[in-house]
Amino acid sequence: MTENQPQESEGSSGEQDFRSGYVSIIGAPNVGKSTLLNTILGQKLAIVTPKPQTTRNQIRGIVTTDTHQIIFVDTPGLMDPKYLLQSEMVRTAYGAMRDADVILLVVDVSRQNEAIATEIIEQIQRLKKANKMLILNKIDLVDKRTLLPLIEDFNEKSLFDEIVPISAKTGDGVSSLLEQVATFLPSGPLYYPEDQLSDLPERFFISETVREKLLLITKREVPYSCAVVVEEFEKRKRRNSDEILYIRAIIYAEKQTQKQIIIGKGGNIVKRVGELARLDIEKFMEMPVYLELYVTVKTNWRRDRSKLKELGGFLE
Ligand SMILES: Nc1nc2c(ncn2[C@@H]2O[C@H](COP(=O)(O)OP(=O)(O)OP(=O)(O)O)[C@@H](O)[C@H]2O)c(=O)[nH]1
Ligand SMILES: [Mg+2]
């Protein structure tokens, strides 16, 4: 023993110094919330597309270091809901806000006059316990000089404990964001094993990947009318005794016409969706994949409570 041993303050042990907490990523659709989650984790956990309303559920990603564990919660974009699925998405997002130790409200600085909706501000003000950070995202798209007045403007309103400009896409500013978040964490336990990245099942990532490709390939209302459910998910031995992951997934559309569009001429659209999804799933699962996609109709599933529940994941 030498006098160089670290001194612990009275009544505390190394373990009690551990900090942990829930950090909710909130904001309007398309501002870059899922991109931020993926950049923080260094892995693609949440699907990302140029279209709004990509995310429909809470997606938890876990960061563990020697000193802390942060559970980041990506959420659906906040909007005026027009049908049940959308109101469930908004409810899910506000739900994540209520449980959070820290809230990251993300805005897109590249949009002209991006204002934060009054409702969001009211909801945030109601949360007395949580630390609130304003994340000015997509700074790679704007002249840095435009940021200063924006920061001053928000500072005057004193709504936020911290304002951090970042680019979720390039990673600029993300490490300072993480440092700042860590200072806001309360003392707490290790909630998840230290090597766990998420608490969602692999099936979820598979169905999300298929939905991402539908959003990228099909247009207008079509991808929004889709839900994807993995029906079968099984490792099988091939003749050469290598293993392959066999996946059968169903794409549910709301109308026959949408189903026809998703299938495409001679099945060309669904085939492309399947090919692109398979490549991503192989990367994610680190093994060869055989993906079989079927398209079917479930009339008005987005407006029907029991159908929403049946398609899984939407109602908690
Ligand atoms: N240039 C630039 N683009 C970004 C940045 N962050 C996100 N994007 C793009 O913005 C679009 C939307 O990103 P998402 O991460 O899906 O946004 P989101 O907030 O999760 O959207 P919803 O799930 O629909 O609410 C995608 O095309 C991203 O590539 C950024 O920092 N810079
Ligand atoms: Mg998203």
Q: Is residue 145 part of a domain?
A: yes
Q: Is residue 71 part of a domain?
A: yes
Query: Nearest bound ligand to CA 105?
Result: 1
Same domain, 164 and 246: no
Same domain, 37 and 177: yes
Same domain, 237 and 110: no
Q: Is residue 7 part of a domain?
A: no
- Of the three residues 184, 211, 226, the one that is the final residue of a domain is 184
Q: Is residue 196 part of a domain?
A: no
- 31 in contact with ligand 1, CB cutoff 6 A: yes
CATH code of 274's domain: 3.30.300.20
Q: Is residue 10 part of a domain?
A: no
- 223 in contact with ligand 1, CB cutoff 6 A: no
Mutate to test the pocket of ligand 1, among 33, 48, 89 (most ligand atoms within 8 A of CB): 48
Same domain, 115 and 250: no
Query: Nearest bound ligand to CA 29?
Result: 1
Output the CA 19–ligand 1 centroid distance in Å: 29
Instruction: Enumerate the H helices of the chain as residue ranges.
Output: 33-41, 84-98, 118-126, 147-157, 174-184, 202-217, 256-263, 268-285, 305-310
CATH code of 20's domain: 3.40.50.300
Q: Is residue 165 part of a domain?
A: yes
Output the CA 51–ligand 2 centroid distance in Å: 9
Instruction: Report how many domains make up the chain.
Output: 2
Query: Nearest bound ligand to CA 27?
Result: 1
Per residue of the chain (316 residues), give pLDDT as tens: 334 444 444 444 455 689 999 999 999 999 999 999 999 999 999 999 999 999 999 999 999 999 999 999 999 999 999 999 999 999 999 999 988 999 999 999 998 666 677 888 888 888 888 999 999 999 999 998 989 988 888 888 788 999 999 999 999 999 999 999 999 999 999 999 999 999 999 999 999 999 999 999 999 999 999 999 999 999 999 888 789 999 999 999 999 999 999 999 999 999 999 999 999 999 999 999 999 999 999 999 999 999 998 886 655 5
Ion ligand 2 neighbours (CB, 5 A) are 33-34, 54-55
Same domain, 284 and 159: no
Same domain, 133 and 211: no
- 58 in contact with ligand 1, CB cutoff 6 A: no
Radius of gyration of the chain (CA): 22
Residue nearest to atom 13 of ligand 1 (CA): 32
Output the CA 88–ligand 1 centroid distance in Å: 21
Same domain, 177 and 258: no
Q: Please, what's the b/e burial string for 264-285 (b: 16 or more CB within 10 A of its CB; e: otherwise)?
A: beeeebbeebbebbbebbeebb
Q: What is the pTM for the complete model shown?
A: 0.93
Range of 274's domain? 202-310
Q: Is residue 316 part of a domain?
A: no
Dihedral of CA 150/109/57/118: which sign? Answer: positive
